[in-house]
Structure 1
């Protein structure tokens, strides 16, 4: 690189502390952004998504013109806030995807991240100047300008807030866009289901409404088995769980859910510390920084598809545990080899990056399945926020090599192995299990009793 942040602002000697702090600030404010993203459950997915998009555009355009380390540090903090945009997007679209496709979608969603990763290496190699790189990267912000036109509010969120007419308008637009052939009166029936969904959310329905599935170009629609009998104050079955009373603090109130939250926070923290530790260590695999970033980006391309396959074949818990073990082994052996056998060292390093990235893909799906519907978004963002705070220590862990060459890999290896233990022995497997709808149902879903829980859920649905 001809001109870097370090060379432009002379971040050496007594100014060297700015480098890890700028990296850590971005990661820490990622977590703050995830907390702010809770607003998506209150004011809507679309407006929150667009607000984060505008914020991201402003900060990206301002960054190349930073003329001092403190100002650049401030802009890095602000940029970190907008990273929650990706997770708001995944929540927004997941509410439109059929249950049978969520495993595929939850993993493949991140494929464009990999292509962006690879592009960074090529752009940096060609331009060799951090300011020019930042200016050229702003060209990708053109995509953001299409969001107000193509991003709609979540019909499910609108339904849960009694805005059925708006939800119907959006569903009609989706049907038109997909050229779906629908029977006469279809949307009248959809309107009935939307009212039923809202009543069920308020605790005024005797039967949960079933989800409609629109099949492109076939003209078929899944049958609605019940139009839901509404009651003003109570349910027909007094034993049914009142989901409308579930609160976000129930994650800490109920012992099983509380323990699960703590384990998930530790699991995700282990993954993020290792992942961002490897990302911020530019010479982990190879001394050539451009080739290092390029190869690490290439390792990200197949991870989404491997994560999809692993979560379906081995299950979520087993996949996460196995991937963390493989990550720990790869990271430890990479450092132990030192500079000997460079080809083998690079292969092991890239394998470690590959395994932890697949674990990242699977864990996002796993976390969302372990929380009940009533608090799923808040549960997911809570875990990601805690992990985001933990990931902020990764740049400082890399600095431990100034004390001892092997310290960083020992920290990453230990995090991976302890994360494996906590996941495999304490969390339930969610593969082929129905999603819990309420906190009470989720509280009964424990490790070792998955089969009994699934049978009970099936009896409740009969």
Structure 2
């Protein structure tokens, strides 16, 4: 019996699938909490020298001073001290300690570890190291194909719990760097959670659950502002986020292993028991003896190197990887900028999270109604222009401030929408035999190079407008290369690299006509050698579930 038919018979999407979805969706919430709460904990408040409280020092406001003036008659400091220099009867002295304005979060990591002036590079390092850990975790999460979806979820759950607590007890910023790398390792596990949800749910419900899964990311994003407001101290905030790791307890008790993975590994008896259990949760009487084998259509796979072997496929791959890299840089760069939309970090975070909901809905609608290529290019260009404009709009007057906020909202919303649309569009340009390879390649490259997003944000110390110009400019330049890709809406997708070589821009209609003609020939001339070879590539994988043959022995159906 086909795998999809079994999912439909046991309920498609019933109580069992709902429990699995709610348990696993918390991994998405926890992942965004780890990212955005770190950005809030590294928020830099206005500061001044603590020496200004001593006699002889010039009083200071909270204007982010790294030096302080004092009377040359105060104290007997040596003129050989490199931190001092004379200016008339006043001497400039480097600050040794700092006081911070109590603006939003009472005690951030920046305040606790004094990460300003000579140490102002540390927030950038901490964020970049987290992104590097996240990228390494993406590679680690792929072990789910070898050891099982549920197993990798539970392993990462244990890592997540330990690394959520670990930063609280690290005494120095240097130890924090190692702790944040380890924290990043467990974050990408939410991809495995989404994959497991899809493998336990009937096909007609997967698109809905996929969108809802990412909507919970948006909710978690907005929730960060409330957690930061309630916690007020970075260690307390860190411990509050630990509560969301409790979802792994639900995963342990409620989430089964993927039956599809079990069948592909030859463990079909276990797959049958998983189906029976889910059917029972859904209130359906269903037994494994209703069929004698599970059939799964196994997608043919190729080598990643093939993406670069043929000229047109190589060009498509380089374009998709480049564009996804730029989207990742810009998206995460703006996400960790806690004052991009408005200076209030709480409002900025809450609005940014809520803003992603219409962004995902917009991407879905324009992709389905208009197409993939043109909306992606248009949204990216408008987003790039809006992002570049934000730092150049003055805020002296109320209407100008409103224009600046509107441009920031438009830029972030359309960038997110374009990023979401490109996820689908990029995958559709890869042939079936290499689609997983292509998507994984672009995701890993984007993940590893996202480590420079905080570095680009650090350029604001050189010129406030530089990060926006870099993010917006790269978005515009990169998306122009998408114009070389073919439109994929309502088009049959290529199965092999050789097919993909024929699927080029300007030839979409001819490609569809040729594909339809080839399909008709397959039906009419199914016994021709070429068709038999194509059929052989798509032969299903079978697995037994312990059906007995006439002799009373267990009959194992071979993997083909």
For the aligned pair, the TM-score class normalised by the smaller chain equals: 0.7 to 0.9
Residues 29 and 78 in structure 1, CA contact (< 8 A), matched pair in contact too = yes
Aligned to 2:291: 188
Shift of 1:313: 1.4
Aligned to 1:288: 344
For 1:193, what is the secondary structure of its paired residue? strand
Deviation track 1:327-380 (CA, whole Å, cap 9, x = no partner) reads 102102212213241122112112211112222322233333333444433332
Instruction: Specify which structure has the higher proportion of helix.
Output: 1
Residues 24 and 395 in structure 1, CA contact (< 8 A), matched pair in contact too = yes
Aligned to 2:225: 121
> Structure 2 CA distance, aligned partners of 1:109 and 1:303?
15
Residues 118 and 298 in structure 1, CA contact (< 8 A), matched pair in contact too = yes
Normalising by the residue count of structure 1, what TM-score does the alignment of the two structures yield?
Answer: 0.81
> Structure 1 CA distance, aligned partners of 2:500 and 2:185?
31
Aligned to 1:357: 416
For 1:109, what is the secondary structure of its paired residue? helix
From 445, 455, 459, give the equivalent of 1:396. Answer: 455
Q: 1:93 to 1:21 in 2, by over 3 A?
A: same
Shift of 1:415: 1.2
From 303, 307, 325, give the equivalent of 1:269. Answer: 325
For 1:171, what is the secondary structure of its paired residue? helix
Q: 1:412 to 1:350 in 2, by over 3 A?
A: same
For 1:42, what is the secondary structure of its paired residue? helix
For 1:393, what is the secondary structure of its paired residue? helix
Deviation track 1:68-126 (CA, whole Å, cap 9, x = no partner) reads 11111111111212222122222333345555555544443211111111111011112
> Structure 2 CA distance, aligned partners of 1:150 and 1:369?
34
> Structure 2 CA distance, aligned partners of 1:310 and 1:400?
35
Aligned to 1:240: none
Moved more, 375-384 or 346-355: 375-384
Q: 1:38 to 1:115 in 2, by over 3 A?
A: same
From 359, 364, 367, give the equivalent of 1:308. Answer: 364
**What are the ranges of 5 or more consecutive residues in structure 1 without an aligned counterpart?**
202-242
Residues 231 and 240 in structure 2, CA contact (< 8 A), matched pair in contact too = no
- Larger of the two Rg values belongs to structure: 2
Instruction: Specify which structure has the higher proportion of strand.
Output: 2
Deviation track 1:208-265 (CA, whole Å, cap 9, x = no partner) reads xxxxxxxxxxxxxxxxxxxxxxxxxxxxxxxxxxx36x22332233333332221111
From 153, 163, 178, give the equivalent of 1:74. Answer: 178
From 237, 247, 250, give the equivalent of 1:143. Answer: 247
Aligned to 1:326: 382
Shift of 1:180: 5.5
Aligned to 2:533: none
Structure 1 residue 279 corresponds to structure 2 residue 332:
no
Matched residues, number: 413
Shift of 1:4: 0.6
Aligned to 1:431: 489
Residues 383 and 411 in structure 2, CA contact (< 8 A), matched pair in contact too = yes
